[in-house]
Structure 1
Amino acid sequence: MKLSRTAAALALGLGAAAASMAGGAVTQSPAGPLQAQADAIVPNKSEWTILAWSIDRNQPLFAVNADQTMVPASNNKVFSAIWALSLLGPDYRFPTDLLITGPVQNGVLRGDVVLKGSGDPAFGYPSYDRDVMASPRKMAESLKRQGVTVVEGGVIADPYIHDRQNFGPAWPLDTGNGASRYAPTVSGLPFNRNMLWIEMRPGPGGLGFARIPEVPEIPVINTARMGGGRAYAVRKPDEDTVRIRGAVGGRGPHRFGVGAYEPAYLAAGAIRQALREQGIQVRGGIRIAPTPNGAALVHRHMSIPLIEMVNQLGRKSDNFFAEHVWKAAVAKATGQGTFAGGGAASAVFFHDKAGVPWGHLWQADGSGLSAENRTSASAMVRSLIFAHKQPWSRQFHESLAMAGDRNGTLQRMFNNPPAKGNLHAKTGYIRAVRSLSGYVTTAGGETVVFSFIYNGRNTSGARGVQLQLGDLLAGYRR
């Protein structure tokens, strides 16, 4: 996709924040009973962007500042899912390749092993591989079947389908630039949610530890002691060194997870560990580099389908899957998954395909963690209408959390009919933001798409407003 025509306009009118509107109003507030009821429900209207739209009648039911841009929090994942499904398709699978750079002579590989990623967030993911080493072991077995007993070189990790910025712009401070469990780092070569696990076990010689996977390239400094039970593992936001502090009690083992600053080391370390388990000696270390020309494919691992990843975005609001799915769409659109290039490419797509006006949408990341993301309710509604009309519409609808369903983020919302088991939507929450966007069938049988986005201090009160608006739509009969 060529972005030259629009990138300049976006740089002038949007910036990273897309704070100002482009053009005039897109959606006029409708007159009617629902608008009056919505107005009565919504306080402090300047803190809201709201739109409810009947797909069947192709007209608004109520609106409050529908064209005003605000921070969407995890409602940003809606755009990431729609974009990826459109560009890649619900059945798309990410490949992760094992290659070799030299000939095999008398059992010796005269070169390196290469692990080339395409940004598969499910590679070694604990929810899909109970044994996170299962896929690396299959790769190692493929190399062993070629008669390899020694790798003369080392392991090259190739994450270059993405840029090397492994955490999003303006992420919350508590993410530690990808150190936290709820928002670990992003990589073109992910493994095990990009978490390095430290397992500690008291022994005769003191308090020992092991890395999982075994990656000595990531330094670990252990100052923990015996006694108590409050040990923890941390790293500074700008380095990969993991520090174990505090005290552990009992026999253990005790496990602590930290998002790796350079996650490509984890996947490469897992491959090296799997090779050694197969009795293959690896003489060299790990280095991060592009795949050399002429490298020969030994094994290709294919991921779970994209739609299963989208389910993680919609139902579980998984930040890790969201960032990787979004960067996959960026890579498809621009050639490489970059945070810097994603915002413009996304805005172009939703303008061209869903009719979102310039200035109404800016994706600084894929998950919604960034405070630089912006959308209007009208942009969200337009995008949801676009998704509703696609061949994968049913799958997208099913990917969203369902009201009252224990397996999603709406399990404690809309627990009574007619919204329960009917309204399905994406939730969103970060500091000073509460958002809810999705679909509902009214009591009169109309399909309605809606977006309720709040930016302000009273997020608990905003949730109550969203509940009332959702119930208003669910119970509406023309």
Structure 2
Amino acid sequence: MRPLGFEARTIPDAADLIREAGLGGRVGFAVADALTGEMLEVVNPLYPLPPASVAKAVSCAYALDRLGPGYRFRTRLVSDGVLSEGRLDGDLWLVGSGDPIFDTDALAGMAQQLAAAGVTEVTGRFRVATGALPEIWQIDPGQLPHVGYNPAISALNLNFNRVHFEWEREGEDYTISMDARSASLRPAVRVSRMRIEERTVPVYTYTDAESHDAWTVARGALGNAGSRWLPVRRPAAYMAEVFQTLMADQGVRLSSPTYETAAPETALVLVEHTSAPLDEILRGMMRWSTNLTAEVIGLMATQAGGTRPSSLPESGAAMGAWMRERLGARNVSFVDHSGLGVGSRIRPQDMTHALINAGPSSRLRNLMKDIPMRDEGGNVIENHPIEVVAKTGTLNFVSTLAGYARAPSGRDLAFTIFCADMDRRDAIPEGDRERPQGTRTYNRAAKRLQQALIERWGVVFA
């Protein structure tokens, strides 16, 4: 008969798995019993590394604690005027609350409801209230200007603050469009404008033209046809312009918008759009890793704690203080809430302690997504005995994973695995930052290592 523990002794050591992965840089991990908190195995547990999008798990817990799972964002149309026979004598206000998943279809619904209420004319000004959140130009200044996952942040957010750019060759020229595309609508916009230039690189350039976002694109990079989402730097103006267009479709002309901090407290609510509850929004954020959602809910949570931040690093510092107080972290620092900024740092052991304190049956665990185990060909292994729910994170030469694994015995493990080669990341030329050479190979190897470690723990600590 095989001796007791024979199978566990045949599993490779963690050090062997890390060496075989050949990642370079540094690997740190910490795995513990999620119920008792007993730390089971660690490598570099106290070395702070970039969490990438694993930071969203912290932001998720932060928002649930400060705002509550049932919190809803409310976008309103209000007026201090009088409505009589279709004529609104007074100003019409569009009031934002920071809703991160608000889209053109929702805005069109508000325009339709206003028209259905009988409004056919607005005699006053069209005013936009932007004071619910600070206006932040972009999440991470270190990103390339055209990446859609690095938009501005505002009290009024539309289509994740992205504009849809589309082009199609017609003879020797191109037809181009910039629109606020949704599932059913494509209203054109002027707050973001594109010009084709005769060059090959850079593919895109951006200039702040004071009244609009001025983009150029290299003709040599376009091909016959295509499209992509570009970030919006003026989200309040973006939403205001689209709303004017949608109201014009209803036969109501609005004046050019003016921007204020808040609408009068005595203003009457004409139309209100209410978002899904926060826990549903967070489930989408954890699944799709939407940076804008993470930043909005992080800023809102900081404000709910009594601090009015003016920047993401300031709000990130507040979240770090909360994590130390509520989740037992000792050495953390955040420059944002999404993990997009590579300057954030968490020690693997601190992240694992946070998962333990949140609990293996907590709302946080329930909001995480299933991470399937895969074979050497990358195919999902059906009915794998280890069940994993976690948050992934990926930056150039950074790959992270943190969450819970349930062993075949039913034992719950909390784990954090951070992989980062900061020297290779720092050496990336500026023009190659969107798809640098070697980063896909690194990411695949890191993910194989993460799975191998989880499989090891599922046997050794079952």
Paired position in structure 1 for 2:267: 295
The unaligned stretches of length 5 or more in structure 2 are 1-7, 181-186, 425-441
The CA distance in 1 between the partners of 2:360 and 2:156, in whole Å, is 33
Cα deviation code 1:245-272 (max 9, x no counterpart): 528787x8x6553211111122212221
The CA distance in 1 between the partners of 2:61 and 2:44, in whole Å, is 24
Q: Does 1:347 align with 2:320?
A: yes
Paired position in structure 2 for 1:455: 420
SS of the residue corresponding to residue 404 of structure 1 reads coil
Does the 8 Å CA contact 1:122/1:304 hold for their aligned counterparts?
A: no
SS of the residue corresponding to residue 57 of structure 2 reads helix
Deviation at 1:476, TM superposition (A): 3.0
The CA distance in 1 between the partners of 2:376 and 2:390, in whole Å, is 11
The CA distance in 2 between the partners of 1:388 and 1:122, in whole Å, is 28
SS of the residue corresponding to residue 414 of structure 2 reads strand
Cα deviation code 1:104-132 (max 9, x no counterpart): 355433333222112111111xxxxxxx3
Does the 8 Å CA contact 2:34/2:359 hold for their aligned counterparts?
A: no
Q: Evaluate the alpha carbon distance shift between residue 38 and residue 202 of structure 1 in structure 2; reply closer, same or farther with a 3 A threshold.
A: closer
Paired position in structure 1 for 2:365: 397
Q: Given residue 186 of structure 1, which amino acid in structure 2 is its aligned partner? A: I
Q: Does 1:190 align with 2:190?
A: no
Paired position in structure 1 for 2:353: 382
Paired position in structure 1 for 2:456: 472
Does the 8 Å CA contact 1:418/1:474 hold for their aligned counterparts?
A: no
Paired position in structure 1 for 2:193: 220
Q: Given residue 401 of structure 2, which amino acid in structure 1 is its aligned partner? A: L
The CA distance in 1 between the partners of 2:383 and 2:106, in whole Å, is 45
Paired position in structure 1 for 2:33: 54
Q: Given residue 404 of structure 1, which amino acid in structure 2 is its aligned partner? A: P
Paired position in structure 2 for 1:75: 54
SS of the residue corresponding to residue 241 of structure 1 reads strand
Does the 8 Å CA contact 2:139/2:150 hold for their aligned counterparts?
A: no
Paired position in structure 2 for 1:368: 339
Does the 8 Å CA contact 1:242/1:258 hold for their aligned counterparts?
A: no
SS of the residue corresponding to residue 48 of structure 2 reads coil
Deviation at 1:80, TM superposition (A): 0.9
Does the 8 Å CA contact 2:189/2:238 hold for their aligned counterparts?
A: no
Does the 8 Å CA contact 2:386/2:406 hold for their aligned counterparts?
A: no
Deviation at 1:76, TM superposition (A): 1.0
Does the 8 Å CA contact 1:437/1:451 hold for their aligned counterparts?
A: yes
SS of the residue corresponding to residue 305 of structure 2 reads helix
Does the 8 Å CA contact 1:403/1:419 hold for their aligned counterparts?
A: no
Q: Does 1:429 align with 2:394?
A: yes
The CA distance in 2 between the partners of 1:45 and 1:65, in whole Å, is 14
Q: Evaluate the alpha carbon distance shift between residue 256 and residue 459 of structure 1 in structure 2; reply closer, same or farther with a 3 A threshold.
A: closer
Aligned equivalent of 1:304, options 276, 290, 296: 276
Q: Evaluate the alpha carbon distance shift between residue 303 and residue 348 of structure 1 in structure 2; reply closer, same or farther with a 3 A threshold.
A: same
SS of the residue corresponding to residue 452 of structure 2 reads helix
Q: Evaluate the alpha carbon distance shift between residue 386 and residue 57 of structure 1 in structure 2; reply closer, same or farther with a 3 A threshold.
A: closer
SS of the residue corresponding to residue 475 of structure 1 reads helix
Cα deviation code 1:83-120 (max 9, x no counterpart): 11222222222111111243335543333322211211
Does the 8 Å CA contact 1:439/1:449 hold for their aligned counterparts?
A: yes
Deviation at 1:285, TM superposition (A): 0.6
The CA distance in 2 between the partners of 1:209 and 1:219, in whole Å, is 12
Does the 8 Å CA contact 1:71/1:371 hold for their aligned counterparts?
A: yes
Paired position in structure 1 for 2:216: 243
SS of the residue corresponding to residue 42 of structure 2 reads strand
Paired position in structure 2 for 1:117: 96
Does the 8 Å CA contact 2:27/2:417 hold for their aligned counterparts?
A: yes
Does the 8 Å CA contact 1:414/1:467 hold for their aligned counterparts?
A: no
The CA distance in 2 between the partners of 1:166 and 1:461, in whole Å, is 35
Deviation at 1:220, TM superposition (A): 2.1
Q: Given residue 403 of structure 1, which amino acid in structure 2 is its aligned partner? A: I
The CA distance in 1 between the partners of 2:94 and 2:238, in whole Å, is 11
Give 1:169-208 correspondences, 5 Å limit: 169=140, 171-174=141-144, 176=145, 179-198=146-165
Aligned length: 420
Aligned equivalent of 1:315, options 255, 272, 287: 287
The CA distance in 2 between the partners of 1:107 and 1:48, in whole Å, is 66
SS of the residue corresponding to residue 351 of structure 1 reads helix
Paired position in structure 1 for 2:65: 86
RMSD: 3.6
Deviation at 1:295, TM superposition (A): 2.8
Task: Say which is worse superposed, 195-204 or 442-451, in terms of deviation.
Answer: 195-204
Does the 8 Å CA contact 1:102/1:112 hold for their aligned counterparts?
A: yes
Paired position in structure 1 for 2:14: 38
TM value normalised by structure 1: 0.76
Task: Say which is worse superposed, 444-453 or 208-217, in terms of deviation.
Answer: 208-217
Q: Evaluate the alpha carbon distance shift between residue 467 and residue 216 of structure 1 in structure 2; reply closer, same or farther with a 3 A threshold.
A: closer
